[in-house]
């Protein structure tokens, strides 16, 4: 019964901004997850009518573009481009909890709610030591990396984005508002968790 109720929920058209639409979608997805539904099930219908479906950038603004075919965790996805080539993308400047870490599943579900099955663009920054493309992901103009930090599902990864004031500010605000993982009074940063485990 819950899945039928969630599936029929639609966000109002004409929302003020893509960020507000994403906020509502993430809230719906997380509430649904608590009821045993995946974020993707809860958000697919809700996202369809939002401002996110109005492109802001053209394909030429991105180094890579394609459809998201896999979400590995909260900061890694796989994109399938127009030539059917898969690209593993690591989101630049952020780090999310590991899957076995507290909030790891919630971070993955937040990324899933934003981009699973959707067309995205990537501004490439680098290639990491694992061969993944490191970049900033956009969905119809919305900076997905920044959104995850704003909602409290990712840390600003200062080591790799030292001068990114936008990510730094987003983290300060998320922490002050106790959003996402900041609900925990002493969350463990993923880089510390990896070192300990």
Task: Show which residues are catalytic.
Answer: 90, 98, 132
Phi first, then psi: give them for residue 11, nearest 5 degrees: -75, 150
What span, in angstroms and rounded, lies between the C-alpha atoms of 197 and 159?
A: 20
Mutual angle of helices 18-34 and 104-115, in 10-degree steps: 130
Query: Cβ(23)–Cβ(43) under 8 Å?
Result: no
Q: Any residues with CB less than 8 A from the CB of 111 and at least 6 apart, and which?
A: 71, 73, 74, 75, 77, 96, 144, 148, 153
What span, in angstroms and rounded, lies between the C-alpha atoms of 33 and 58?
A: 33
Q: Which of 93, 113, 82 is nearest to 154 (CA)?
A: 93
Q: How many CB atoms lie within 10 A of CB 16?
A: 8
Mutual angle of helices 104-115 and 39-48, in 10-degree steps: 30
Phi first, then psi: give them for residue 90, nearest 5 degrees: -105, 125
């Amino acid at each position: 019964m819950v899945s039928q109720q969630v599936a029929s929920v639609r966000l109002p058209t004409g929302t003020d901004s893509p960020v507000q639409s994403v906020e509502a979608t993430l809230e719906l997805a997380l509430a649904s997850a608590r009821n045993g539904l995946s974020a993707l099930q809860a958000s697919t219908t809700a996202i369809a009518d939002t401002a996110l479906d109005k492109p802001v950038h053209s394909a030429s603004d991105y180094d890579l573009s394609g459809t998201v075919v896999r979400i590995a965790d909260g900061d890694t996805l796989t994109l399938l481009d127009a030539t059917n080539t898969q690209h593993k993308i690591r989101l630049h400047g952020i780090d999310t909890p590991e899957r076995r870490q507290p909030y790891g599943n919630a971070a993955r579900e937040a990324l899933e709610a934003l981009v699973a099955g959707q067309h995205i663009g990537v501004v490439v920054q680098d290639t990491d030591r694992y061969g993944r493309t490191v970049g900033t992901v956009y969905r119809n103009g919305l900076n997905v990396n920044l959104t995850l930090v704003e909602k409290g599902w990712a840390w600003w990864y200062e080591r790799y984005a030292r001068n990114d004031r936008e990510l730094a500010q987003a983290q300060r605000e998320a922490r002050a508002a106790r959003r996402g993982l900041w609900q925990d009074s002493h969350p463990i940063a993923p880089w510390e968790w990896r070192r300990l485990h």
